[in-house]
């Protein structure tokens, strides 16, 4: 029992229910299929265990499986870490710099955000990942990123086994019409397979190859995206906040200089904030190392300013200029939009030219917001919100009254937080 609790840490026993979700079911099925088929192909048809290379290959396959599952389950069950319910800062005067969460009945600590899926305020929330059925945040960021690295490496090894198995077993059975092309297969013929390479075995190997290649590409891209934000000591949410900060300063010409407070200036220092020898991240999830020109509430003050900005500007914000059918990965909207679709369970919304959208957050290629509905739909309580490609909308121009009101409210907000 001590070994099991050391291998995977459970916050509560009910966390096991996270496995009962389509994300973990699919992820664990892919891992099981690729691992088991790679092992079977190696010891039966490609690289027998009675050779040094075969033994080493077998050990590496087992090693990939163990490491992948270890980091996957820790990312799922350790969790991101949650702000205590009803939390408030030690100094009462700091509450004016923080947002209040009605759901958790407490203040949001710096870098924390409320997750609607988890129904809690998450420490240094990056995103809610359906594949682990949990948030990626402060406590499990290293486990999650390690999983994103190990999964493509293990699948690449498995894909090599699948390709070599089919090549060696089908070499003399399929004629390509190139009678003059000869490949030396003497080394392969020395090893007689334990059983014939049948049609079902070929189909299973081909299917596993497709899963392995698809996982290598998809998860590998996610790894590079995660490393990009980690080396800047940001999260996906904070990258969007920074982008909105620059947009706000440029639009109102306030002359402010926004410096992201958690970028320590060196990639290695940022890297060590997530990855440590002990496996536990630096910090308690509430207090953070910051840039020399910033303080603990630099980002939360900016969030308050953006919240004031949103209250006025949300009346007219983005206009739809391209139709969008609500597809998860729309190829017609460009390769970047296709490959960088948000990895979330949140819905997409269809768009039609001329509609108005109240955007609240997003990435470089996607945005999230509410569609402006007619009076009847509004009175009925209808609400349509979700993700849509950024290229499908353009910013609306603000009239003088709105700009004046925004300037006044922003000024009062700034006086409040100073």
Write out the catalytic residue numbers.
Answer: 129
Structure tokens at 156: 């690449």
42: nearest Cα among 54, 28, 30: 54
Beta bridge partners of 101: 106
Cα separation of 338 and 389, whole Å? 9
Q: Residue 304 region, left (φ>0) first, then alpha (ψ -120 to 50), else beta?
A: alpha
Given a contact cutoff of 8 angstroms between Cβ atoms, the answer to whether 381 and 342 are in contact is no
């Amino acid at each position: 029992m001590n070994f099991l609790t050391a291998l995977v840490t459970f916050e509560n026993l009910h966390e096991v229910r996270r496995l009962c979700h389509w994300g973990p079911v699919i992820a664990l099925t892919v891992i099981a299929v690729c691992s088991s088929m790679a092992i079977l192909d190696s010891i039966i048809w490609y690289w027998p265990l009675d050779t040094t290379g075969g033994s080493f290959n077998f050990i590496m396959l087992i090693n990939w499986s163990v490491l992948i599952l270890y980091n996957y389950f820790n990312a799922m069950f350790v969790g991101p870490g949650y702000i205590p319910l009803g939390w408030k800062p030690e100094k009462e005067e700091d509450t004016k710099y923080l947002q209040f969460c009605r759901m958790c009945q407490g203040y949001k600590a710096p870098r924390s955000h409320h997750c609607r899926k988890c129904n809690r305020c998450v420490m240094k929330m990056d995103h809610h990942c359906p594949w682990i059925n949990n948030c990626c945040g402060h406590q499990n960021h290293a486990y999650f990123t390690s999983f994103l690295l190990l999964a493509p490496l293990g699948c690449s090894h498995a894909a090599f086994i699948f390709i070599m198995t089919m090549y060696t077993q089908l070499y003399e059975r399929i004629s390509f019409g190139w009678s003059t092309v000869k490949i030396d297969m003497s080394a392969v013929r020395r090893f007689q397979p334990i059983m014939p390479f049948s049609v079902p075995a070929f189909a299973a190997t081909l299917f596993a190859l497709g899963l392995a290649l698809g996982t290598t590409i998809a998860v590998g891209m996610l790894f590079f995206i995660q490393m990009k934000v980690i080396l800047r000591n940001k999260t996906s949410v904070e990258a969007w906040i920074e982008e909105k900060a620059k947009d706000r300063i440029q639009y109102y010409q306030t002359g402010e200089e926004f410096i992201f407070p958690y970028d320590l200036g060196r990639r290695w220092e940022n890297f060590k904030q997530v990855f440590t020898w002990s496996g536990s991240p630096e910090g308690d999830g509430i207090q953070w190392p910051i840039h020399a020109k910033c303080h603990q509430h630099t980002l939360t003050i900016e969030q308050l300013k953006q919240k004031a900005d949103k209250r006025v500007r949300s009346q007219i914000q983005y206009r739809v200029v391209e139709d969008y059918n609500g597809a998860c990965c729309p190829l017609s909207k460009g390769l970047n939009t296709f490959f960088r679709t948000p990895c979330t369970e949140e819905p997409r919304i269809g768009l039609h030219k001329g509609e108005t959208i109240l955007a609240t957050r997003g990435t470089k290629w996607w945005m999230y917001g509410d569609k402006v509905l007619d009076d009847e739909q509004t009175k009925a309580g209808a609400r349509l919100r979700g993700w849509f490609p950024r290229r499908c909308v353009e910013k609306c121009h603000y009239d003088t009254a709105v700009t004046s009101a925004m300037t006044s409210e922003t000024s009062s907000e700034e006086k409040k937080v100073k």
